[in-house]
């Protein structure tokens, strides 16, 4: 990004960092909160307020750009991936996205994407996809993530151009170096197969046609694999618990940023795929008028029932239910928190259609899911985290994170009576609260 005046970009970035840090420091001092520290007993969280979250993004973006500007293109490429990441991940992957950095660079070299874009010119995602015979959605998600590493750029919507880093990959010996790193060194230690799945099953939406399937030398999905291996399932579940405990996905965002009180007394909430009832218990704790029914598979429900406090047992209940089966419980609100992103559109539509038999006028469906931003709409550091999650969904589940437009299209395809009415993005949360209504004035019939 070039500066609009004669001020050095380095000086400009330093000024942005200084100003934004002042805002963060002011918020910490005003609230009497502890200062950020790496001390063993330090326990701090930045206030989840819009101006603090914005300032945090400004600092991270400016600091990242300052860091990148002080490196020559080849060194920067080394730091983001290639042999540097393959051999020294702890030194080079400071953002925790080593596997996503590497899969994007593997795609760029395997499909010779740098050669697809003319120096000094532009080419569309669609044209590149057609040339390399990979579906456009996959090409777009891979290149947009690569752009967060400053490999390629999108000067106008839908068009790809070079940066000095991507242009460097047109040099034969640099391309060879990256190919050795991504196709030989990295697979020898990590065996990533996401791109193999894209080529073997182009455009597939099946959960058993993924990089996970290939790397595990199986024909079944991650769900069946985990079901057959309790030890792996327990480890995977522990990882999800650890991730769910991070501030960016805290249940408090869902509980505090939606107007639950407006539902009135004795409102019935159904939490589909609600696991052990964490959302249900917190809702019942804070809103005495809510009654919450948690639906999940039998093993989860059986274990969860015993862990509900006695004073909440009348308002927090559990029920065994298959989310693909027709819904039998009438409620005021149905919650699907972090459920649909695990499933490709084909299956997400089936889950949504399964709700239809129980829906009536005035009902609300709350999807607590990511709402992917347009490129450049949020801090680059945050966009990179979101696009990394999108790639993870592709590799493991054959699913994807969705933008507001994609959510609207998904709902319309499931049933035109679904209406996306509001998207609430709590500050500091990676999950939005997507409020969906039910319009009974139109009709549609289909088989579940």
Which of 77-81, 93-97, 191-195, 291-295 has the highest mean predicted lDDT (pLDDT)? 291-295
pLDDT reported for residue 424: 98
Is residue 79's pLDDT more than 60? yes
Half-sphere exposure (Cβ direction) of 249: Cα atoms closer than 13 Å: 16
* 240 confidence band (pLDDT: 50, 70, 90): confident
DSSP string, 197-210: HHHHSTT---TTSS
Is residue 135's pLDDT more than 50? yes
* 388 confidence band (pLDDT: 50, 70, 90): confident
Higher pLDDT, 381 or 288: 288
pLDDT in tens, 257-282: 999 999 988 999 999 999 999 999 99
Q: Are 55 and 23 in contact (CB under 8 A)?
A: yes
DSSP state of 370: -
* 82 confidence band (pLDDT: 50, 70, 90): very low
Is residue 4's pLDDT more than 60? no
pLDDT reported for residue 239: 80
Question: What value does the mean pLDDT take over residues 159-179?
Answer: 89
pLDDT reported for residue 447: 60
* 90 confidence band (pLDDT: 50, 70, 90): very low
DSSP string, 176-197: HHHHHIIIIIHHHHH---HHHH
**What are the respective helix, strand and coil percentages of the chain, to the nearest 5?**
50, 10, 35
d(CA 42, CA 433): 31
* 40 confidence band (pLDDT: 50, 70, 90): low
Domains of the chain, first to last: 9-70 (no CATH), 100-169 (1.10.10.10), 172-243 (no CATH), 247-382+392-438 (3.40.50.150)
At 301, phi and psi to the nearest 5?
A: -60, -45
Is residue 445's pLDDT more than 70? no
Neighbouring CB atoms inside 10 A of 35's CB total: 10
Is residue 214's pLDDT more than 60? yes
Task: Out of 162, 291, 341, 400, pick the active-site residue.
Answer: 341
d(CA 433, CA 425): 6
Q: Are 307 and 340 in contact (CB under 8 A)?
A: no
Three-class secondary structure of residue 392 per DSSP = helix
At 152, phi and psi to the nearest 5?
A: 70, 165
pLDDT in tens, 319-376: 999 999 999 999 999 999 999 999 999 999 999 999 999 999 999 999 999 999 999 9
Read off the pTM: 0.81
d(CA 36, CA 43): 8
Smallest Cα–Cα separation from 77: which of 189, 156, 152?
152
Say whether 341 is catalytic: yes
pLDDT in tens, 368-380: 999 999 999 998 8
Q: Is the dihedral of CA 237, 384, 31, 44 positive or negative?
A: positive
Question: What value does the mean pLDDT take over residues 105-119?
Answer: 95
Bridge partners, residue 438, by sequence = 418
pLDDT reported for residue 303: 84
Beta-strand relationship, 371-372 and 364-369 = unpaired
* Residues 274, 275, 277: CA angle, nearest 5 degrees: 70
Three-class secondary structure of residue 153 per DSSP = strand
User: Which H or E element spans position 403?
Assistant: strand 402-403
Question: What value does the mean pLDDT take over residues 146-173?
Answer: 92
DSSP state of 275: T
Question: What value does the mean pLDDT take over residues 401-421?
Answer: 97
162-201: b (≥16 Cβ within 10 Å) or e? bbebbbbbeeeebbebbbebbeebbbeeeebbbbbbbeeb
Helix 9-31 to helix 50-69 angle (10° resolution) is: 150
- Report the percentage of the chain scoring pLDDT > 90: 65
Three-class secondary structure of residue 365 per DSSP = strand
Q: What is the mean pLDDT of the chain?
A: 89
298 by Cβ neighbours in 10 Å (0-12 / 13-18 / 19+) ranks as exposed
d(CA 407, CA 401): 9
């Amino acid at each position: 990004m070039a500066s609009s005046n004669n001020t050095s970009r380095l000086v400009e970035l330093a000024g942005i960092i200084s100003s934004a840090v002042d805002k963060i420091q002011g918020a910490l001092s005003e609230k009497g909160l502890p200062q950020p520290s790496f001390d063993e007993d330090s326990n701090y969280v930045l206030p989840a307020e819009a101006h603090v979250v914005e300032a945090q993004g400004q600092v991270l973006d400016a600091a990242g750009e300052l860091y990148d500007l002080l490196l020559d293109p080849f060194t920067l490429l080394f730091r983001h991936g290639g042999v540097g990441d393959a051999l020294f991940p702890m030194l080079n992957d400071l953002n925790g996205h080593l596997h996503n950095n590497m899969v994007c660079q593997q795609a760029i070299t395997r499909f010779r994407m740098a050669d697809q874009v003319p120096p000094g010119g532009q080419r569309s995602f669609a044209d590149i996809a057609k040339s390399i015979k990979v579906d456009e959605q996959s090409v777009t998600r891979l290149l947009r993530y690569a752009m967060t590493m400053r490999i390629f750029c999108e000067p106008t919507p839908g068009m790809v151009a070079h940066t000095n880093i991507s242009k460097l990959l047109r040099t034969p010996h640099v391309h060879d170096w990256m190919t050795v790193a991504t196709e030989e060194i990295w697979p020898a230690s990590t065996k990533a197969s996401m791109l193999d799945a894209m080529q073997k099953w182009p455009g597939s939406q099946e959960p058993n046609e993924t990089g996970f399937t290939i790397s595990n030398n199986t024909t079944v999905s991650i769900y069946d694999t985990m079901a057959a291996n309790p030890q792996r399932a327990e480890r995977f579940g522990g990882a999800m618990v650890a991730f769910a405990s991070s501030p960016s996905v805290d249940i408090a965002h869902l509980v505090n940023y939606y107007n639950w009180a407006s539902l009135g007394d004795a409102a019935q909430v159904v939490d589909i795929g609600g696991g052990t009832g964490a959302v249900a218990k917190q809702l019942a704790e804070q809103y005495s008028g809510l009654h919450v029914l948690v639906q999940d598979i039998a093993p989860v429900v059986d274990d969860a029932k015993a862990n509900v406090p006695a004073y909440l047992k009348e308002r927090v209940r559990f029920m065994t239910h298959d989310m693909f089966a027709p819904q039998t419980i009438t409620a005021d609100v149905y919650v699907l928190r972090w459920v649909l992103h695990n499933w490709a559109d084909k299956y997400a539509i089936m889950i949504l259609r399964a709700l239809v038999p129980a829906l009536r006028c005035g009902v609300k469906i709350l999807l607590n899911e990511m709402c992917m931003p347009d490129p450049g709409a949020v801090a680059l550091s945050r966009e990179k985290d979101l696009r990394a999650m999108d790639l993870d969904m592709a590799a493991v589940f054959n699913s994807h994170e969705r933008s507001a437009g994609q959510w609207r299209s998904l709902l319309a395809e499931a049933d035109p009576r679904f209406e996306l009415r509001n998207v609430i993005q709590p500050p500091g949360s990676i999950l939005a609260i997507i409020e969906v209504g039910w319009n009974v004035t139109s009709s549609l019939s289909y088989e579940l």
